Amino acid sequence: MDVLPAPILSVLTLRLLTPSGETIEVDAILTYDVHDPFAVRVGFDTGQDMLVEWTFARELLSGGVRDLTGEGDVRIWPSPYPARGTFRNAICISLSAPGGAAMFEADRLDVVRFLEQTYDLVPAGRESEHLDIDTELAVLFAENWLAD
């Protein structure tokens, strides 16, 4: 039996940009897991014993380091603003849901380091080699059966 590598975790400090122009530092955890090789997750501790987690394509995060990517709920792009505070270069991450929207800035170098680790683990274009199609189909059919 093959032993799968542990998920890659990176704790980052993001800046939440408020409508008033203030910034609030927010701790976030970026996660990449071989079990879901096309995706990355970002989790936010709300401070109320609740973790809010977003899952989106690793390719979306990677593209957003260089150019505007995404359409819809998740959009990522390099910040057009000069470096501020401790961030030498920033990327913007916009998340929206029916309950509201949030805009964050992340240090580009931290995100690039995280992405490099993920691509060392699973190179681009080799993600499908890490999928267990039988298990994924079983989960999909079980979810659909329970919904009926």
Q: What is the rounded CA–CA span in Å between residue 48 and residue 105?
A: 22
What pLDDT digit, counting tens, does each position of 72-108 carry? 899 999 987 765 666 668 999 999 988 888 999 999 9
What pLDDT digit, counting tens, does each position of 8-47 carry? 999 999 999 888 888 889 999 999 998 888 899 999 877 7
| 25: amino acid identity, one letter | E
pLDDT grade for 48, boundaries at 50, 70 and 90: confident
- Who has greater pLDDT, 117 or 49? 117
User: Is residue 1's pLDDT more than 60?
Assistant: no
User: Is residue 132's pLDDT more than 70?
Assistant: no
Domains and CATH numbers, the chain: 8-147 (2.30.31.20)
Contact (CB, 8 A) for 73 and 95: yes
Q: What is the rounded CA–CA span in Å between residue 75 and residue 85?
A: 23
- Which pLDDT value is given to residue 89? 86
Q: How far is CA 141 from CA 35, 36, 49, 63, in A?
A: 18, 18, 32, 32
User: Is residue 146's pLDDT more than 60?
Assistant: no
- Which pLDDT value is given to residue 147? 56
Contact (CB, 8 A) for 53 and 59: no
> Torsions phi, psi of 17, nearest 5?
-95, 120
